[in-house]
Amino acid sequence: MSVPDRRRAFVDGLYALERGTRSKNTKHTGECRQALARMRRSFSGPRQQAEAFEYVFPYDPPRAEQDAWLLVAGLFALNPQPPRSKKGRRTFGASMGELKAKTGSNADRRFAQLLARDPVALSHHIRQTIRLLASHDIAVDHYLLLDDLVVLLGDDHRGDRAHRIRLDWAREFHIPPANGRPGAAGTTDTDDQPETGEAP
């Protein structure tokens, strides 16, 4: 399986856990909620990171990407919402733009800080931002977030690809939702991405 296919299967598994929390099967619901709780605990410290291993490593992340995959597992558990739109991609900047529309100018400062962070600081800052987005019921496209974080947390985090990602985030942050950008707030299309099975 190609790396992009492995990434997608991994995030499909995360979304399957979220769906499982709404299952009519109470045993399955409990298992999915426990899995999300364990992934949240992976942020408690270096030793607790192992809580997320069984939900990440079965998908065979490349060694150079495994830190980004583990981070996204924890981030998803902090804000386990289904994507608002399944037509087009929604960058993290779009989610931050929705936060700005809801809360005002403080989002500008937070977003500018996010773009300026080095990989170590970015991991911490994005974790705090995900919590804030969750508190305002703002979904995140974890498929695209994983793709972007692989670059932003990698060796080329100051290269051309990382620069383009930051520009894409900034563009979607500053374009108002009324302009019809993909994944804008209030969009509820659900046609394009297939339903997947439960996570292993």
Residue 177 confidence (pLDDT): 63
For the cut 90, the answer to whether the pLDDT of residue 120 exceeds it is no
Confidence (pTM): 0.85
Sign of CA dihedral 166, 2, 194, 138: negative
Q: What b-and-e string marks burial along 177-197, b requiring 16 or more CB atoms within 10 Å of the CB?
A: beeebbbbbebeeeeeeeeee
Residue 15 confidence (pLDDT): 96
pLDDT digits (tens, 9 = 90+) for 4-52: 999 999 999 999 999 999 999 999 999 999 999 999 999 987 788 999 9
Instruction: Give the span between the Cα atoms of 126 and 115, in whole angstroms.
Output: 10
More confident of the two residues 95 and 177? 95
> Is there a contact between 95 and 169 (Cβ–Cβ < 8 Å)?
no
Residue 37 is encoded by which pair of tokens? 């709780």
Q: What b-and-e string marks burial along 91-120, b requiring 16 or more CB atoms within 10 Å of the CB?
A: bbbbbbbbbbeeeeeebeebbeebbeeebe
Mean pLDDT of the chain: 86
Residue 92 confidence (pLDDT): 95
User: Residues 89-116: what's their mean pLDDT?
Assistant: 90
- Domains in the chain with CATH codes: 1-80 (no CATH), 85-185 (1.10.520.40)
Candidates 63, 12, 30, 73; CA nearest to 195 is 12
More confident of the two residues 64 and 179? 64
pLDDT digits (tens, 9 = 90+) for 135-147: 999 999 999 999 9
Backbone angles phi and psi of 152, in degrees to 5? -70, -25
For the cut 80, the answer to whether the pLDDT of residue 180 exceeds it is no
Three-class SS string for 15-58? HHHHHHCCCCCHHHHHHHHHHHHHHHHCCCCCHHHHHHHHHHHH
* Largest distance between two CA atoms of the chain: 48
